[in-house]
């Protein structure tokens, strides 16, 4: 018997594999449900853009060909959309891919990354794979960013500082002022990665936006995804905007065909679908208003949401998730440091109503 434990690269055995929850089919089977409402992955309840669906149909006949390795058509569309050059854009197999690529490009053993806590788990995952150290800086008790503490956590070994705005799972934004202040305090050698996966949903006028001043700074990387607002999570397409020199290094570790053909075409089409984008934003704003009103009425505390999800304090997040699951509603709990909370993704209006009704029953118990 081969002793695999002794052969795997140091640190690999310490990584906890990602464990996805039950699928909707598994849940239906387990609890004998006829309907499952999926509010656990911050997906777009409205589905993909019709233009993306048409592009997908057109692309199907060419699937015997490899994709364009440089995602050129998509990168040009993104560059035009953001008012930057195509060389500023790198496309990834989801923004997860870009986080891993940044980790592989910059981090080695004993290097450090600074991350807000709690926040999106993939930043720490990327560092762990490279055996770099994760320095977590707690958000303030109201979940706002403590940028002073983040700047103070930077050491001579720090390579990457991550911020996520609106933050997953807490929903709060980093403000423009905080972003600029943080950047002004970071040494020249430190890269600031701003994950803006949910930024298009926020209506907060103070939220950080990637303006020309930020993008002119060679230390800034902005990450975006087609998985949320554009409703294409299943196709795995994300992108980053940064200085071309930075991508020049990342490109050396990138897989040659990291974004599939269908994803490239669909994402480019979705970017041109202003109607779908507006509808998705309106849906999030309406859902936000619905949950805020309903939860205030029932006295269940929540944090003001800025993305397409809401963090609700039920007392025991795992127990709430289990009780909702038995009623056919999938939400998410188990975030480090947030045992008392569940995160609920905005669904269609009737799904949101079902969720609130179930929440009332569960919390009353
Ligand atoms: C903050 C944040 N960044 C990135 C991602 C990953 O997005 P993608 O589907 O593009 O890999 C997610 C997904 O949930 C997220 O919440």
296 and 214 in a common domain? no
280 and 156 in a common domain? no
285-342: pLDDT as tens digits: 999 999 999 999 999 999 999 999 999 999 999 999 999 999 999 999 989 999 999 9
Q: Is residue 14 part of a domain?
A: no
298 and 244 in a common domain? no
28 and 134 in a common domain? no
Mean pLDDT of 47-69: 97
Q: Is residue 295 part of a domain?
A: yes
Q: Is residue 8 part of a domain?
A: no
- Of 244, 273, 302, the position where a domain reaches its end is 273
CA distances from residue 317 to 18, 251, 298 in whole angstroms, order as listed: 19, 41, 17
Residue 197 contacts by C-beta under 8 Å, 6 or more apart in sequence? 95, 120, 164, 168, 223, 224, 225, 227, 228, 307
Assign residue 342 the CATH number of its domain: 3.90.1150.10
> Which atom of ligand 1 approaches the CA of 120 most closely?
1
Q: Is residue 187 part of a domain?
A: yes
Whether 178 lines ligand 1, by a CB cut-off of 6 Å, is no
- Of 245, 273, 301, the position where a domain reaches its end is 273
148 and 289 in a common domain? no
125 and 35 in a common domain? no
29 and 74 in a common domain? no
Indicate the pLDDT class of residue 19, thresholds 50, 70 and 90.
confident
What is the distance in A from the centroid of ligand 1 to the CA of 237?
A: 10
- Closest Cα to atom 3 of ligand 1: 197
285 and 241 in a common domain? no
The per-residue pLDDT of the chain, averaged, comes to 96
209 and 73 in a common domain? yes
- Of 273, 296, 315, the position where a domain reaches its end is 273
Assign residue 171 the CATH number of its domain: 3.40.640.10
Indicate the pLDDT class of residue 213, thresholds 50, 70 and 90.
confident
Per-residue confidence (pLDDT) for residue 312, from 0 to 100 = 97
Q: Which of 120, 149, 123, 134 is nearest to 332 (CA)?
A: 120
Indicate the pLDDT class of residue 1, thresholds 50, 70 and 90.
low
Q: Is residue 10 part of a domain?
A: no
What is the distance in A from the centroid of ligand 1 to the CA of 128?
A: 18
What is the distance in A from the centroid of ligand 1 to the CA of 67?
A: 23
What is the distance in A from the centroid of ligand 1 to the CA of 96?
A: 6
Q: Ligand 1 pocket: which of 78, 96, 335 to mutate (most atoms <8 Å of CB)?
A: 96
283 and 255 in a common domain? no
Q: 52 pLDDT exceeds 70?
A: yes
What is the distance in A from the centroid of ligand 1 to the CA of 253?
A: 21
Quote the domain boundaries for residue 125.
50-273
Per-residue confidence (pLDDT) for residue 332, from 0 to 100 = 95
Q: Is residue 312 part of a domain?
A: yes
The secondary element (H helix, E strand) that includes residue 280 is: helix 274-298
Q: Is residue 28 part of a domain?
A: yes
Q: Is residue 13 part of a domain?
A: no
Provide the domain count of the chain. Answer: 2
Mean pLDDT of 173-186: 97
What is the distance in A from the centroid of ligand 1 to the CA of 364?
A: 33
Task: Report whether 143 contacts 171 (CB < 8 A).
Answer: yes
Whether 195 lines ligand 1, by a CB cut-off of 6 Å, is yes
297 and 236 in a common domain? no
Task: Report whether 317 contacts 333 (CB < 8 A).
Answer: yes
144 and 155 in a common domain? yes
What is the distance in A from the centroid of ligand 1 to the CA of 95?
A: 6
Classify burial at 209, counting beta carbons within 10 Å of its beta carbon; exposed 0-12, middle 13-18, buried 19 or more.
Answer: middle
Q: Ligand 1 pocket: which of 166, 197, 200 to mutate (most atoms <8 Å of CB)?
A: 197
> Which atom of ligand 1 approaches the CA of 226 most closely?
10
**Does this model's pTM top 0.95?**
yes
Q: Ligand 1 pocket: which of 102, 166, 168 to mutate (most atoms <8 Å of CB)?
A: 168
């Amino acid at each position: 018997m081969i002793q695999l434990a002794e052969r795997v690269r140091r640190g690999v055995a310490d990584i906890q594999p990602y464990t996805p929850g039950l699928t909707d089919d598994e849940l239906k089977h387990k609890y004998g449900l006829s309907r499952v409402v999926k509010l656990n992955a911050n997906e777009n309840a409205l589905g993909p853009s019709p233009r993306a669906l048409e592009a997908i149909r057109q692309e199907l006949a060419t699937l015997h060909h490899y994709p364009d390795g440089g995602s050129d058509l998509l990168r040009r569309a993104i560059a035009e959309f953001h008012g930057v050059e195509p060389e500023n854009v790198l496309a990834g197999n989801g923004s997860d891919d870009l986080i891993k690529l940044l980790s592989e490009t910059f981090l080695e053993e004993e290097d450090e990354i600074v991350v807000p806590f709690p926040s999106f788990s993939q930043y720490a995952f990327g560092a762990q794979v490279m055996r770099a150290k994760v320095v977590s800086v707690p958000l303030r008790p109201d979940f706002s960013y403590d940028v002073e503490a983040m700047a103070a956590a930077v050491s001579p070994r720090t390579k990457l500082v991550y911020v996520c705005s609106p933050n997953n799972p807490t929903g709060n934004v980093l403000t423009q002022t905080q972003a600029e202040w943080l950047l002004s305090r970071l040494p020249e050698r430190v890269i600031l990665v701003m994950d803006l996966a949910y930024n298009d949903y926020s209506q907060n006028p103070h939220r950080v936006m990637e303006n020309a001043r930020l993008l002119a700074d060679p230390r800034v990387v902005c990450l975006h995804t087609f998985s949320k607002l554009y409703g294409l999570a299943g196709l795995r397409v994300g992108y980053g905007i940064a200085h071309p020199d930075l991508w020049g290094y990342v490109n050396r570790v990138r897989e040659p065909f990291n974004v599939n053909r269908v994803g490239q075409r669909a994402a480019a089409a979705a970017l041109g679908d202003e109607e779908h984008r507006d509808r998705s934003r309106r849906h999030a704003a309406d859902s936000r208003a619905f949950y805020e009103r309903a939860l205030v009425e029932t006295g269940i505390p929540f944090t003001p949401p800025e993305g397409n999800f809401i963090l609700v304090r039920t007392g025991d997040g795992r127990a709430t998730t289990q009780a909702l699951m038995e009623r056919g509603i999938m939400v998410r709990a188990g975030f480090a440091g947030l045992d008392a909370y569940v995160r609920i993704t905005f669904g269609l209006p009737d799904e949101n109503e079902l969720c609130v009704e179930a929440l009332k029953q569960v919390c009353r118990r």
